[in-house]
Amino acid sequence: MKIFRIMLVVSLVMMAACSALPNHKDDLAKKNDDFMLRVRWLDFPGAALHFEEDIRPEFIEQFDDVDDLKVTAFTMVRLELDVPQEKVTAHYRLEYYILPSATIQKKRFSLTWEQQPVSVSGKAAGKAFWRITQAFPELL
């Protein structure tokens, strides 16, 4: 009986330690949800933060003067994981209309998220973050 208790305590300690490890899948899920929410609410400067720095200006410029754009739905249809390359391809469906038209347009497209290392003073910090590495498709 004493061995059972010891094994139980060791198991609980190991489970607690594993739960403290960073879970990059959850990190990607949070970032993807934030990205979709920002696009849905037309917060393009906020959504641009999820893109690599070199393609952010193109994304912001695409929606800079589009006051008549209305997004009705933005959902992720499926994910394709490439674990060895630390890439995830997300397939989306965007529904929108542009005033004065009331016709809803539907666009399906894919964006690739890649895990990129964080560098501090030019040295890898051992952590990573997810960024979209390809341009957003043209809607207009």
* Residue span of the structural domain in which 54 resides: 23-132
Identify whether 14 is part of a domain. no
Identify whether 54 is part of a domain. yes
Give 3-state DSSP helix, strand, coil % of the chain, rounded to 5: 35, 40, 25
Identify whether 4 is part of a domain. no
- State the Cα–Cα distance between residues 105 and 135, nearest whole angstrom: 20
Identify whether 56 is part of a domain. yes
Identify whether 5 is part of a domain. no
Identify whether 92 is part of a domain. yes
Question: Within 13 Å of residue 100, how many CA atoms lie on the same side as its CB?
Answer: 0
Residue 70: name the closest of 37, 97, 102, 41 by CA. Answer: 97
Domain total for the chain?
Answer: 1
Please tell me the predicted confidence (pLDDT) of residue 89. 96
Identify whether 13 is part of a domain. no
Residue 49: name the closest of 137, 104, 138, 130 by CA. Answer: 130
Please report, for the domain that includes residue 72, its CATH number.
3.10.450.50
Identify whether 12 is part of a domain. no
| Per-residue model confidence as pLDDT tens for the chain (140 residues) | 677 666 656 566 566 555 544 445 558 899 999 999 999 999 999 999 999 999 999 999 999 888 899 999 999 999 998 877 789 999 999 999 999 998 999 999 999 999 887 766 666 555 678 999 999 998 76
Q: Identify the three-state secondary structure at position 111.
A: strand
Provide the whole-model pTM.
Answer: 0.75
91 touches 79 (CB < 8 A)? yes
Show the CA angle centred on residue 111, arms to residues 110 and 114, nearest 5°: 145
- State the Cα–Cα distance between residues 93 and 109, nearest whole angstrom: 7
